[in-house]
Amino acid sequence: MEAIGRHLLLELKDCNRELLSDLGFLRNTLLSAAREAGATIMGDSFHVFEPYGGVSGVVIIAESHLSIHTWPEYGYAAVDIFTCGNALHPERAVDLLVNALEAKSTSTLELERGILDSEDEAP
């Protein structure tokens, strides 16, 4: 059996709180992470939430997506990196994000998505 994609769930704690509310920085960082993984960027959308300045954003890639949700008041960011196929390197995006957000405590959970039996092959 082979999976269609990889889905990495990142818990980033004790991050630089100022960076977690900087929409421009977060957008540029997530776009850089997509490029670092080798993804084809199709578009993006980001929003700042008041009063704490948390940011939610997504980068749509031809191979799926990267998303981030931040809570500056807690120094926390939740990140999803979902890639399809075997050509990308999402772990490179993880390293970039951990370093850029200055996360002092991290955990990553990786899931295989779309695990298919041989009879499920595409036409």
Domains delineated in the chain: 1-53+96-108 (3.30.360.110)
Residue 41's contacts (CB-CB under 8 Å, 6 or more residues apart) are 31, 34, 35, 59, 60, 61
Strand partners, 58: 45, 67
Residue spans of alpha helices (H) in 1-114: 23-37, 90-100
Q: How far is Cα 66 from Cα 38, in angstroms, rounded to an integer?
A: 12
pTM assigned to the model? 0.90
Instruction: Provide the 10 A C-beta neighbour count for residue 121.
Output: 8
Band (pLDDT 50/70/90 cuts) for residue 119 is low
The H or E element containing residue 107 is: strand 105-116
Measured CA distances, 91 to 32, 47, 72, 85, 107 (Å): 13, 25, 24, 14, 12
Q: What is the pLDDT of residues 70-104, one digit of tens each?
A: 999 999 999 999 999 889 999 999 999 999 999 99
Is residue 103 left, alpha or beta, with left meaning phi > 0 and alpha meaning psi from -120 to 50?
A: beta
Q: Which residues are catalytic?
A: 64, 69, 84
